[in-house]
Amino acid sequence: MLDNVKVILVGTSHSGNIGSAARAMKVMGLTEMVLVSPQCSVDEQTMSLASGAGDVAQHAKIVDTLEEAVSDCALVVGSSARSRTLEWPMLEPRECGVKFIQEAEKGKVALVFGRERTGLTNDELQKCHYHVCIPANPEYSSLNLAMAVQTLSYEIRMAWLEKEAQQYSAPVEEEYPRHKELELFYQHLENVILDTQFIAKDKPNLVMNKLRRLFSRARPELQELNMLRGILTSVEKSISDKK
């Protein structure tokens, strides 16, 4: 599923940013990079900053236009600051991750990042189905390219991991005790704490009411309740042996 996610960098001007973005991608399991009209080449600085993810940068596809980069994609999301002049459907990063994993089951999807200084043009943003904005500190919202790639790649991976867990983990069906079984437990508990003189015989309700509230809040499962009753039975046996 992650193989269907493209990370597209438009007009990148610093070769080191390609390497840093490749590293951010590979850490999160993304491997398909596309460079649209890059203003630099994949060089030694790229490989140095890729730090083990050089294969992602080396195998990056280079195209002339964004249209060519997204031609096979059913979902295209552009990374952008919120714009007051260009109203467009917006996604939060977490929503973006979930939507990517949903759509990546069916085919290619693309996450588009703009130039280091100016981002994506309005024309490029209008080629995207959605825009995604990282809600950074408004007093200092400066994210470099690799940081933005890392943040959104992380959300995609988290959505993928959650889907994998749901797919392969059998749902746990808890069995809870019925009311009469709870009442038998409370009676058992009261008998034991009376025998151990934890509560006075003339004022049992004061403590028992609090204990009832405690177990109601905890809502033990049937297996847990049986375990508690087993502990109480063990205490009773210990008291009996000492008599």
Q: Would strands 108-113 and 73-79 be described as parallel, antiparallel, or unpaired?
A: parallel
Give the residues of the chain that fall short of pLDDT 70: 83-85, 168-172, 204
H, E, C per residue of 87-149: CCCEECHHHHHHHHHHHHCCCEEEEEECECCCECCHHHHCCCCEEECCCCCCCCCCCCHHHHH
What pLDDT score was predicted for residue 174? 76
CA nearest 77: which of 146, 133, 28? 133
Helix axes 145-168, 93-104, angle to 10 degrees: 60
Coil, strand or helix at 7 = strand
Which DSSP letter does residue 4 get?
G
What pLDDT score was predicted for residue 151? 97
Rg (CA), the chain: 30
Q: Is the dihedral of CA 203, 207, 210, 212 positive or negative?
A: negative
What pLDDT score was predicted for residue 171? 62
pTM for the predicted model, two decimal places:
0.71
What pLDDT score was predicted for residue 201? 81
109 pairs with which residues across the strands?
Answer: 5, 75
User: Distance (Å, rounded) from C-alpha 110 to C-alpha 32?
Assistant: 10
User: Distance (Å, rounded) from C-alpha 226 to C-alpha 17?
Assistant: 60
User: Distance (Å, rounded) from C-alpha 174 to C-alpha 2?
Assistant: 33
What pLDDT score was predicted for residue 227? 96
What pLDDT score was predicted for residue 186? 93
Ranges of CATH 1.10.8.590 domains, the chain: 179-241
Q: Nearest 5°: CA angle at 100, between 57 and 127? A: 75
User: Distance (Å, rounded) from C-alpha 20 to C-alpha 44?
Assistant: 12
User: Distance (Å, rounded) from C-alpha 180 to C-alpha 166?
Assistant: 34
Structure tokens at 90: 């917006």
User: Distance (Å, rounded) from C-alpha 94 to C-alpha 97?
Assistant: 5
What pLDDT score was predicted for residue 131? 93
**pLDDT digits 0-9 by tens, 41-83:** 999 999 999 999 999 999 999 999 999 999 999 999 999 877 6
Ranges of CATH 3.40.1280.10 domains, the chain: 2-167
CATH of segment(s) 2-167:
3.40.1280.10
User: Distance (Å, rounded) from C-alpha 157 to C-alpha 16?
Assistant: 24
What pLDDT score was predicted for residue 39? 96
Q: Which H/E stretch holds residue 6?
A: strand 5-10
Domain 179-241: which topology?
Helicase, Ruva Protein; domain 3 (1.10.8)
Q: Is the dihedral of CA 214, 215, 219, 221 positive or negative?
A: positive
Place of tokens 């151990």: 196
